[in-house]
Each structure stands twice: as structure tokens, then as C-alpha cells.
Structure 1
Amino acid sequence: MTHKLPPNLLALFTARPPLRYLQPPDHAPEERKTSNIAGVAQYLGALEDYKETVPYEPTESWLQRKDRVKLEKKKRQEKLVLEGLLQKRDEDPNIRGDAFKTLFVARLSFDTTEKDLEREFGRFGPIERIRIVTDTAESKEDAKPRKKKKPHRGYAFSGL
């Protein structure tokens, strides 16, 4: 079948000349001089000396580090809850309740009322308070003349 191939493809299948022989660059195996191979026993004395002079300091594995960081974070959070929130509550009268038990609800329809939110979230547990954020005092300079007045800002906070 190969005789039907064109000459440029037949040239790919032609035999090449053999490789020429070169002498190995190193010595013959019987002429080689290598060092004697010994066991580990000759190094045991050096290992004992190393043990005596260099103190052992264990390192922390990645699992131990992970556990340590987790415990440190938990302690910091407990400290913040005990100290930080109590101080902030004394400074700002608008802060009420525990920040870790407050739910933020965003993208509310402007038709939503507190009763709607209480009905939706009340089935998951008792709700302590609901606060839909509204504009406080809008000055005449900030108000746009043809802009429709919205009942609230579109988000709320709920304390559980």
C-alpha cells in the first residue's frame, strides 16, 4: 500500500543511517574507583551529640494552630459582647438589644409595614421589636421638587 503514497510522504518512512559509535566519556567499570558504602551506624555518635547540644522545641501543627486561632477568636468575641456592647449602649441611646440577635432585612417594598414584617417573621419565633428606617427631617434644599415621597427607606431591623 505504501507504494501508492506520494514521494514526500514516502521520504518520511525511509530508513536512516545507523548512529555512529562513540567511546564512553568516563572510565571502564573495572577501572573505576568509588568510595566504600557503609551503613548508618557510623553517624549514630554524631546524632547523640546533636541531641545533647540542640534543645528540642516542638512546633505547632496546622490542626493545632487552627484550633488555637478558633479559641482566640471565640474569646475575643465574648470579650466584645461583654465589654464593647455595654459601653456602646451607654454612649448611644438609639442602640437597643443584642447586635448578634438583630436581623437586617433589605430591599423591602415601599408598601411594607411593620405588621407585614411581624406576620412574616413571627412564625419563626418571638420578635422583640421591628424598626423600619424612615427619613427623619428632610430639608427643603435636599428634597427634589417632583420626587415622590416614600414612606420609608426600603430596609428594616428586627430584634429577636
Structure 2
Amino acid sequence: MTHLLPPNLLKLFAARPPLPYYRPVDKDISRVKPKSLDGTAAILERVREENALGTGVGKRAADGEGGADGGAMEEGEEGEEVEEPFSLAEEYRRQIRREERKKRLADDFTKAKTSYKPNEDPQAVGDPYKTLFIARLNKNATEADLRRAFEQYGQLERVRIVKDPKGRSRGYAFVIYDRERDMKGEYIQKKSSSQPSAVVLPRRLRASST
């Protein structure tokens, strides 16, 4: 079809000149021969034989063989790291350590299980149907801040921020109202409003700790 076009349009379809030739900087992939790679099985077998005969790398480093003259290594010069051969005694010690660690973890679990008594917690007080659980609480918030924020919906019986043994806030708290309807009204009000700083949830489970 292009041969039917006039000369002024044929110029638009003319082929461009070929790209200039540059010598490649790397070898031709088609001419590169793959290198033959040998495995390490023979080397490992030789290392095992030398270690068995006591002439391995670890033995030479322990004997302090330094130069061709066979003299002692100069004081202060760092030698090669001594590689201790693996033995059954080392495997036995590892097995003992594993058993001791397993027994220690089992003892810690048993101790924690027997000492965990949430029903005897002196802080677990109040009616759960009157309690609000405050999650994602700011670590710098205080109980006075929570009291000012929640007492506008009703009289509060108790406000408690849960803390770790070092006295730092764990990021959640419990707010107990004197009346259940005050707690419900406050929860509905907080749920309808957008407050990204904290999440307010009603505490319905009696087994939970306040």
C-alpha cells in the first residue's frame, strides 16, 4: 500500500539509518564456556580425616605452628581460632541444657498457674454492669483526667488506671458509675461521638478484673 502514496508522504515512512556499531565491553554470552564446579564432599572428607588424626586446623592452631622455621609464635600476635572437634560429651551437655530449660519453663508455668487467682485480687471490686472499660488510653493520662471527662454523665464510684509494677500506665482503665443507667448513657454518647484517643466499652463479663 505504501508504494501508492505520493513522494511527500513516502518520506514519513522512510526507514531510519542503522545504529552505530560499538564494541561490546563484555564477552559474548554465546562464546562463554561454563565453568566446571566441583563439590565440597572431598574437602569435608579430608577435614574429617585430619581431625581424626590430630593434624587438622584446630590442632595446628592449638600447637602454635606459625612459620616455616617452626619457631614459637611471637607474644601478642593473634593466632587462628581453635576449632574444637564435636564430641559426644558436647552433645550430652547440650541435651542436659535443653532438659534444664524445659524443666525451668514447666516450673514457671506451674508457678504462674497456681499463683493466678483473679477472684482474690483486691483491686477487683465493683459491679461489672456499672463499669466501663477504657482502651487505647494515653499513657500520660491520669485518673483525675478520666474523672473530669466521665463524671459529667453521672456520679462516679471509682476510677482506676491499670499500671505495671514500675508504676507506668498499661494503656487501659476502668470507670465505675454509681448507677447503671449513667454508664449506659455515657457509653451511647461516647459511641456516637468520634474520639480517636480512647475506646469505651461496657464491661459485661463478671469474670473480668477491674
> TM-score, normalized by length of structure 2?
0.26
> TM-score, normalized by length of structure 1?
0.34
Higher RCO, Cα 8 Å, sep 6+: 1
- 1 or 2, which has the higher strand percentage? 2
